[in-house]
């Protein structure tokens, strides 16, 4: 049984993992770099070990230093959080060799899904829809031209070692094929030391919808429904919500089954996420699998009522899942806003510096996962994410109103943050009526550049109209479903689900 966990991470996620450790009676061990001597995760832990200089390569990404700290502290397990070493197959393997439990999947699962061509092959064999395209590396210029003739333009050229948007090129015209191929290859070579690419049909204006899965070591695999992650800026997610406004029960069930099949095909264990792109007609395609706990996991926790870190630890302890798929349901709605130390009015320039004042939002339905405090100086070495505001509500509309209330109450001075940008999104008709895809921020650029003021003008009316539009659309979608399967998204108060899970 795990008694002591070293958290190989920093910031909000390190603290989030420590919270669950404390609930489970597990001792937590922090590691920290020079820049993080005064970080909250160090104070929050039961013990802390210095692992080196500020640059990640010499600290949080340094496998030997982290394993050393685990040995020194006599930790029996390591939780990698997200980012850093969380999807590093070698790290998972090293831990195993040293007799330390890695709270995450095997090196095999990580490398199968980390190589996108291998992932596509694996998934295709499991009968899951993948984006039409190649399952072999592109061998030459002629090969690329030949393949694109078959698939038809537009296409995406993607690096097999890529993911999250790196080493990717959209090709719309024939004359751009070879230059784009070259660019994708050299970008991939520089970023990953591997220039192998594959080609996919381009799905225009997609939604990004992902499924959370849990797999134990006893062949039980379940999914915890979807997260809608289409609100993003330059491949960085800004807002996530669940349930997805475009989903219906039939598609949800189908995609959930496919998500479970992907996890089984990868011989997965622990918590993982299957990403799909979904077009306006609800055609969906596997995109990639993330073999880690994700930033946006709390919205699933709120709506499904399960502590995902607790499940990760139980699974690492060889325990069986204590519930089946049929026992899970989505209760209400949750939205996460990511707060970055960036200036939304200056092209999202990073804004590190000293926190002069912080007032965190509180109250019913509000969860705040952060790590900054007054007098703390945000270092420039790491991710600019400073906190996540997660809000739960009975209905989508209530959740949006509650999020606006929480954003209004959230004050940070000393640095620039994205709080006001998030408020503008909450007051954008396309968001309010759930009518958005991955182009949302681009499409609403003008709107999102202006300060929102509720002065009873046309803007305020447009938002009210958007709420009405959304509710009507949901009502109509529900009416197409046989009454036996109806789930009521905005009047769940009558159902026997009394526990609010936050
Ligand atoms: C695509 C696509 C359209 N068609 N692949 C972006 C990040 C990486 N995970 C894959 N991405 C995309 N792949 C095909 N065949 C559009 C995107 C994409 C995107 C995907 C998810 C979330 C946001 C996105 C923003 C732009 C492009």
The whole-number pLDDT of residue 480 equals 63
Distance 466 CA to ligand 1 centre (A): 27
Q: Is the CB of 164 under 6 A from ligand 1?
A: yes
**With a 6 A CB cut-off, is 162 part of the ligand 1 pocket?**
no
Respond yes or no on whether the N-terminal peptide bond of residue 243 is cis (omega within 30° of 0): yes
Q: Is 478 helix (H, G, I), strand (E, B) or coil?
A: helix
How much distance in Å is there from the Cα of 450 to the middle of ligand 1?
A: 28
What number of residues does the chain have? Answer: 502
Q: How far apart are CA 411 and CA 355, in angstroms?
A: 11
Per-residue pLDDT of the chain (502 residues; tens, 9 = 90+): 999 999 999 999 999 999 999 999 999 999 999 999 999 999 999 999 999 999 999 999 999 999 999 999 999 999 999 999 999 999 999 999 999 999 999 999 999 999 999 999 999 999 999 999 999 999 999 999 999 999 999 999 999 998 877 789 999 999 999 999 999 999 999 999 999 999 999 999 999 999 999 999 999 999 999 999 999 999 999 999 999 999 999 999 999 999 999 999 999 999 999 999 999 899 999 999 999 999 999 999 999 999 999 999 999 999 999 999 999 999 999 999 999 999 999 999 999 899 999 999 999 999 999 999 999 999 999 999 999 999 999 999 999 999 999 999 999 999 999 999 999 999 999 999 999 999 999 999 998 998 877 666 677 888 899 999 998 888 777 666 555 555 444 433 333 333 333 3
Q: Does the beta carbon of 200 sit less than 6 angstroms from any atom of ligand 1? A: yes
Closest C-alpha among 121, 404, 370 to residue 266: 121
What is the spatial distance between Cα 233 and Cα 272, in angstroms, rounded to a whole number? 23
Cα–Cα dist 438/209, whole Å: 10
pLDDT at position 494 is 38
Query: Phi and psi at residue 269, in whole multiples of 5°?
Result: -140, 140
- Indicate the top mutation candidate among 438, 439, 440, 442 to test ligand 1's pocket, ranked by most ligand atoms within 8 A of CB: 438
Angular region, 182: left φ>0, alpha ψ -120 to 50, beta rest: alpha
DSSP of 401-413: HHHHHHHHH-EEE
Q: What sign does the dihedral 467-471-472-477 (CA atoms) show?
A: positive
**148 CB within 6 A, ligand 1:** no
DSSP letter, residue 210: E
Contact 269, 315 (CB under 8 A): yes
Can 182 be counted among the known catalytic residues? no
Coil vs helix vs strand at 191: helix
Q: How far is the CA of 438 from the centre of ligand 1 (A)?
A: 8
- Residue by residue, DSSP assigns 84-95 as TTTT-HHHHHHH
Query: Which ligand 1 atom lies nearest to the CA of residue 201?
Result: 15
pTM of the model: 0.94
For the chain, the distance separating the N- and C-terminal CA atoms, rounded to the nearest angstrom, is 27
Q: How far is the CA of 87 from the centre of ligand 1 (A)?
A: 20
Distance CA 289, CA 102 (A): 19
- 86 bridge partner residues: none
Please give the Cα distance from 151 to 156 (Å, whole number): 11
283 lines ligand 1 (CB under 6 A): no
Please state which architecture CATH assigns to domain 132-201: 2-Layer Sandwich (3.30)
- Best of 228, 235, 240, 443 for a ligand 1 pocket test (most atoms within 8 Å of beta carbon): 235
Distance CA 176, CA 471 (A): 44
User: What pLDDT was estimated at residue 455?
Assistant: 64
User: What is the number of helices (H) and of strands (E) in the chain?
Assistant: 17, 22
Atom 9 in ligand 1: residue holding the nearest Cα:
164
Helix (H, G, I), strand (E, B) or coil at 470: helix
The helix/strand/coil state of 135 is coil
Report CA(168)–ligand 1 centroid distance (Å).
9
Domain ranges of the chain: 4-103, 132-201, 207-453, 458-493
- Ligand 1: nearest atom to the Cα of 288: 9
**Residue 247 C-alpha to ligand 1 middle, in angstroms?**
19
**Distance from Cα 165 to the centre of ligand 1, integer Å:** 7
> Using CA atoms, how far apart are residues 33 and 381, in angstroms rounded to an integer?
10
Pocket mutation for ligand 1, best pick of 134, 206, 210, 289 (most atoms within 8 Å of C-beta): 206
Query: Does the beta carbon of 203 lie inside 6 Å of ligand 1?
Result: yes
Query: Can you list the positions of beta strands (E) in 189-324?
Result: 197-201, 207-215, 221-233, 236-242, 270-278, 284-290
Cβ neighbours around 127 below 10 Å, total: 10
Q: Is 363 near ligand 1, meaning CB less than 6 Å away?
A: no
What the block records as the tokens of 488 is 């009521």
Q: What is the CATH number of domain 4-103?
A: 3.40.50.20
Q: Give me the pLDDT at residue 354, please.
A: 97
HSE toward the beta carbon, residue 501, CA cutoff 13 A: 18
Ligand 1 pocket check: which of 166, 199, 208, 239 to mutate, most ligand atoms within 8 Å of Cβ? 208
Nearest-angstrom CA–CA distance, 338 and 332: 20
pLDDT at 481: 59
Catalytic one among 10, 252, 292, 424? 292
Half-sphere exposure of 162 (CA within 13 A, CB side): 25
Read off φ and ψ for residue 123, nearest 5 degrees.
-70, -40
Classify 207-453 by CATH class. Answer: alpha beta
Strands 47-52 and 27-33, sheet pairing:
parallel
The pLDDT, as a whole number, for residue 502 is 32
- Does residue 172 line the site of ligand 1, with CB under 6 A? no
C-beta 277 within 6 A of ligand 1: yes
* Residue 136 to residue 338: CA distance in whole angstroms: 37
- Give the distance (Å) from ligand 1 centre to CA of residue 156: 9
Measured from the Cα of 203, ligand 1's closest atom is 4
């Amino acid at each position: 049984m795990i008694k002591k966990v070293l958290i190989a991470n920093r910031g909000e996620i390190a603290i989030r993992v420590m919270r669950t450790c404390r609930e489970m009676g597990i001792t937590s061990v922090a590691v920290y770099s020079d820049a993080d001597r005064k970080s909250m995760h160090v104070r929050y832990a039961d013990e802390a070990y210095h692992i080196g200089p500020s640059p990640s390569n010499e600290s949080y990404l340094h496998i030997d230093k982290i394993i050393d700290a685990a040995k020194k502290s006599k930790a029996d397990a390591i939780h990698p959080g997200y980012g850093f070493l969380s999807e590093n197959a070698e790290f998972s393997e090293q831990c195993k060799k040293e007799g330390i439990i890695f709270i995450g999947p095997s090196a095999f699962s990580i490398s199968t899904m980390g190589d996108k061509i291998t992932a596509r092959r694996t998934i295709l064999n499991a009968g899951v829809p993948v984006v039409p395209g190649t399952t072999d590396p592109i061998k030459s210029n002629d090969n690329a031209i030949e393949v694109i003739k078959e698939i038809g333009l537009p296409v995406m050229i993607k690096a097999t070692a890529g993911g999250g948007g790196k080493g990717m090129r959209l090709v719309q015209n024939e004359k751009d094929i070879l230059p784009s191929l070259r660019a994708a290859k050299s970008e991939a070579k520089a970023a990953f030391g591997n220039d192998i690419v594959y080609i996919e049909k381009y799905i225009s204006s997609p939604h990004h919808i992902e499924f959370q899965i849990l797999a134990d070591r006893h062949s039980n695999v379940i999914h915890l429904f979807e997260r809608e992650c289409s609100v993003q800026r330059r491949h960085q997610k800004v807002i996530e919500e669940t349930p997805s406004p475009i989903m219906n029960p039939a598609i949800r069930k189908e995609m959930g089954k496919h998500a479970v099949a992907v996890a089984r095909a990868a011989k997965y264990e622990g918590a993982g996420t299957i990403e799909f792109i979904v077009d306006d007609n609800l055609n969906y395609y596997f995109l990639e699998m993330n073999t880690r706990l994700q930033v946006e996991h709390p919205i699933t926790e709120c709506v499904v009522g399960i502590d995902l870190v607790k499940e990760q630890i139980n699974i690492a302890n060889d325990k069986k899942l204590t519930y089946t798929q049929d026992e899970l349901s989505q209760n209400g709605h949750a939205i996460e806003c990511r707060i970055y130390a960036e200036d939304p009015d200056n092209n999202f320039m990073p804004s590190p510096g000293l926190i002069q004042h912080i007032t965190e939002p509180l109250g019913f339905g509000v969860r705040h996962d952060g790590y900054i405090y007054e007098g703390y100086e945000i270092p420039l070495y790491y991710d600019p994410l400073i906190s996540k505001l997660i809000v739960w509500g009975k209905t989508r509309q209530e959740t949006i109103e509650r999020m606006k209330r929480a954003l209004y109450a959230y004050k940070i001075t000393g640095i620039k943050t994205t709080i006001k940008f998030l408020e503008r999104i909450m007051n954008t008709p396309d968001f309010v009526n759930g009518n958005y895809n991955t182009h949302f921020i681009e499409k609403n650029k003008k709107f999102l550049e202006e300060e929102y003021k509720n002065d009873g003008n046309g803007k305020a009316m447009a938002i009210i109209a958007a709420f009405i539009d959304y509710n009507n659309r949901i009502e109509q979608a529900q009416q197409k479903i046989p009454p036996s399967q109806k789930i009521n998204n905005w009047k769940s108060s009558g159902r026997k689900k009394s526990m609010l899970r936050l």
